[in-house]
Homo-oligomer: A and B are copies of this chain.
């Protein structure tokens, strides 16, 4: 299927040419507003380590919320199942940055993939370290996952969010008011804004997610990142909560665990088969990459990789 896959990936790229530019590029982070809306990249890394890619697959983009999968993995490594004392595991049924449920549930976010939940996870990753140390640890972890030392944080993006991320300041202060953050708000958000500002290419991102497609072990490096059970569970969380209030739609159309970011990236996992990354900056009304979602729907359709059939 290797040859087929490359052909499929290229065909998807061709077929989506006419859709490029659809959706709305995120503009609330000024640095992201300048991206060419017609960018499109796709990379598929199979569990045997072969890479299939097309388009702007080697151009770095801001992974934003896709990074939440990596920080959750780190937090679970540090705190195990006690992580869930601080953040839930249920779909939110509301927008990615909603504060309403946070009030109803007294500062405990519904899941680690909405903003509030990822902020709680940043607090867990800090765990007594300085923000600089925690940011360094996250970056090293992502480089280790992707086996690529060139991955870096875009400081302009981090700074841009730090200056304008009022909603995230609101969420963090709100959680703090319920005693649900253990570090200063500025430290926690420093970590959060920086891990969201990690820049990666589709190829790097697909490689970084490979451990989730292969029962916790990255077959390209031989590193066991998490246990088989934990890999499954992170995939379950991505499937139910990975696309904000469009998670049900993504499961219905694509049928793969995945996590999106407002930079237009999506990382998806076909368990036992492959890790996939797509990038297209225009977002749909739920804040997920519009053309990226289409690409994954086409890929799942052509490969039959849905987790819901065989």
Residues of A that sit less than 8 Å from B by CB: 88-94, 98-101, 103-104, 110-111, 166-167, 169-174, 176-177, 185, 215, 228, 231-233, 235-237, 239-241, 245-249, 251-252, 255, 257, 271-272, 306-310
Taking a contact as CB atoms under 8 Å apart, the answer to whether A252 and B309 are in contact is: no
Determine the distance from Cα of A257 to Cα of B307 in the docked complex, in whole angstroms: 10
Determine the distance from Cα of A309 to Cα of B47 in the docked complex, in whole angstroms: 12
Taking a contact as CB atoms under 8 Å apart, the answer to whether A248 and B237 are in contact is: yes
Taking a contact as CB atoms under 8 Å apart, the answer to whether A166 and B174 are in contact is: yes
Residues of B within 8 A of A100 (CB): 99-100, 103-104
Most-contacted residue by chain B among A104, A185, A235, A240 (CB, 10 A) = A240
- How far apart are A91's CB and chain B's nearest CB, in angstroms? 4
Residues of B within 8 A of A248 (CB): 88-91, 111, 236-237, 240-241
Determine the distance from Cα of A96 to Cα of B55 in the docked complex, in whole angstroms: 44
Taking a contact as CB atoms under 8 Å apart, the answer to whether B171 and A176 are in contact is: no
For A91, give its contact among B91, B177, B255 (CB under 8 Å): B91
- For this complex, 20 residue pairs linking A to B, each with C-beta atoms less than 8 Å apart, are A90-B91, A90-B248, A91-B240, A91-B248, A98-B103, A99-B174, A167-B177, A169-B170, A169-B185, A228-B309, A231-B308, A231-B309, A235-B309, A236-B248, A236-B308, A237-B251, A239-B251, A240-B252, A271-B310, A307-B307
Residues of B within 8 A of A247 (CB): 90-91, 240
Number of identical monomers bound together in the oligomeric complex? 4
Taking a contact as CB atoms under 8 Å apart, the answer to whether A236 and B255 are in contact is: yes
- How far apart are A178's CB and chain B's nearest CB, in angstroms? 8
- How far apart are A247's CB and chain B's nearest CB, in angstroms? 6
Asked if A235 meets B272 with Cβ closer than 8 Å, knowing A93-B90, A247-B91, the reply is no
Determine the distance from Cα of A2 to Cα of B236 in the docked complex, in whole angstroms: 27
Chain B residue with minimal CB distance to A231?
B309
Residues of B within 8 A of A241 (CB): 248
Chain B residue with minimal CB distance to A110?
B93
Residues of B within 8 A of A92 (CB): 93
Taking a contact as CB atoms under 8 Å apart, the answer to whether A245 and B90 are in contact is: yes
Taking a contact as CB atoms under 8 Å apart, the answer to whether A232 and B169 are in contact is: no
Determine the distance from Cα of A91 to Cα of B90 in the docked complex, in whole angstroms: 9
Determine the distance from Cα of A223 to Cα of B143 in the docked complex, in whole angstroms: 51
Determine the distance from Cα of A104 to Cα of B309 in the docked complex, in whole angstroms: 34
Q: A167-B173, A239-B240 are in contact. List 10 more A-B contacts (CB 8 A).
A: A89-B252, A90-B245, A111-B248, A170-B174, A170-B177, A235-B308, A236-B251, A236-B306, A239-B251, A240-B251
Determine the distance from Cα of A88 to Cα of B246 in the docked complex, in whole angstroms: 11
Residues of B within 8 A of A310 (CB): 215, 271-272
Residues of B within 8 A of A111 (CB): 248
Determine the distance from Cα of A117 to Cα of B110 in the docked complex, in whole angstroms: 22
Residues of B within 8 A of A309 (CB): 215, 228, 231-232, 235, 271-272
Residues of B within 8 A of A249 (CB): 89-90
Residues of B within 8 A of A176 (CB): 166, 170
